[in-house]
Amino acid sequence: MRDKSHITDYEPVTRSRQAGLWEDDPAGEEWPRQNRAEAAGDGLTDSHAGARVAGANDQLPPAPARAGSAPNWVLKRGHMLSYLGLFLFTAVLYFRPYELIPALSSFNNMAFVLAVATLLVFFPTQLALEGTLTARPREVNLLLLLCLVALLSIPLAIDPGVAWDMFSGNFIKAILMFIVMVNVVRTPRRLKALILLALAVSLFLSVGALKDYYSGNVIIEGYRVAGRIGGLFDNPNDLALHLATMIPIAVALLLSARGVMGKLTYGVCAALMLAAITVTFSRGGFLGLVAASTFLAWKLGRRNRFVVVVIMLVAAILFLALAPGNFSVRILSIFIPGLDPVGSSGARQQLLIKSVLVALRHPLLGVGMGNFPIVSIHDQVTHNAYTQVASEMGAAALAFYVLLIVSPLRRLREIEDQTYEARRASRFYYLSVGLQASLVGYMVSSFFASVAYLWYVYYLVGYAVCLRRMYEAEHGLLKEPTVSGAEQGAERTPEARGRAEVFPEPKAEGRLVAE
């Protein structure tokens, strides 16, 4: 049971008819691919999912404008058991049923068991399907480099035990499950199911936050609500960050939905998440929401930019005017620290300066993961994801972390540009824009929260990588892996020849190169 007393000091829990997002799509369960589509029970055959075309503008070739056109070749589903494990793990990670259901209170290691079981199924299956432990898009390489730097920093940490606990906690789990996600989410419906799961927990949290606020159950500083689920969402700032990144995705699904009920459902979901952000009174969450909303409106209203600016200004004024309690004063305290009743704004500025100084004094490997509070002010964390990484793991880790977030943006923008003219028939346009907005929202909100080692960004980047891989597969851009001599011999067996039916291969513009 949650302590009902006021909490004043807390830290982050360390065409007329639009094409829906693959709704009612007979080809939605499979994505197009190159040769060997039947091999090994439907595995991906690219070891470089980020392969791209080197053309005049170094971009992917334009997407076909035809709606519903049948692909020339298909990649059948694979990793069904691994995906099921990932889905169940994510559900437990989000909902923490052992907290919500008293009968399950003794099963608090449920997520760990599911993660281990998923990995035990995933790696042998991945080796059998593709002969490699993982596909290697740029984001996977960046995350592996970040993991390497984290490992190197542990022996040199101020307290290696604390650093190891931080590394072996959420961080390594996030890395491993990110790798699983990139490899097993290989059909549109799988991606949509994961996104809907995230929206479901967001809706649950939003309704709970609003109910707690209006019933007076405000336990943070006497006027702020906490999430009804612990772990990722107990802290109001972390809850607001999550909701700010999910609203653009809900809007993208709304715009791509075909039926009225679908549009209404996603619209209500977005509205409830927006309302829930206000009762968290999170300044970082609000700024992330503003950044994500502005980006989303700018992208979707590219032909009427002046109208978009006017609407955004009016919406911002109405939002602040209708927000509950002293929300407007709370936001103004960003610029006028004296308006903050608990003085947290000034304390955050001091922590920012301190974390920057620590990062400058320890540029190679930092002071160790989770070790910043040892050298901090009053044992507090950085309250900034970027200086958290820089001060605890060094400058190289900061570069890898920032590139991990920024890298998907360029690829999503390419998909957006190539599908814009056929956006009402495209299955990729709106979600590519929504994911860009979500990443922008995270980049802003995480400037005010120590969330670099938590799950938020790894799921967002994972969604982006999976969407891009599907787009590249549909347009014949996935590169075949190098086949070893043993594999070539296996291909000559009758069983292998029976699996490796050759489909017509489309001609892509330019030359395929690996990232």
Per-residue pLDDT of the chain (515 residues), as tens digits, is 444 444 433 333 333 344 455 544 444 444 434 333 333 334 333 434 433 333 334 445 444 444 444 333 334 457 899 999 999 999 999 999 988 888 888 888 899 999 999 999 999 999 988 889 999 999 999 999 999 999 999 999 999 999 999 999 889 999 999 999 999 998 999 999 999 999 999 999 999 999 999 888 887 877 888 888 888 898 999 999 999 999 999 999 999 988 899 999 999 999 999 999 999 999 999 999 999 999 999 998 887 888 888 888 888 888 888 888 788 888 888 888 777 777 777 888 899 999 999 999 999 999 999 999 999 988 899 999 999 999 999 999 999 999 999 999 999 999 999 888 877 777 899 999 999 999 999 999 999 999 999 999 999 999 999 999 999 888 765 554 444 444 444 444 444 444 333 333 333 333 333 33
- Name beta bridge partners: 31: 75
Residues 338, 417: Cα–Cα separation, whole Å: 45
For the chain, give every domain's residue range.
39-513
List, in order, residues 6 or more apart from 327 with CB less than 8 Å away. 278, 281, 320
Report residue 404 as tokens: 């991990």
The CA–CA distances, whole Å, from 116 to 121, 166, 232, 478 equal 9, 18, 20, 29
Predicted pLDDT at 239: 95
What's the sign of the alpha-carbon dihedral 130, 133, 139, 141? Answer: negative
- DSSP helix/strand/coil, 113: helix
Predicted pLDDT at 323: 83
Predicted pLDDT at 326: 81
Predicted pLDDT at 4: 44
Predicted pLDDT at 272: 95
Predicted pLDDT at 325: 73
Predicted pLDDT at 84: 96
Residues 462, 140: Cα–Cα separation, whole Å: 9
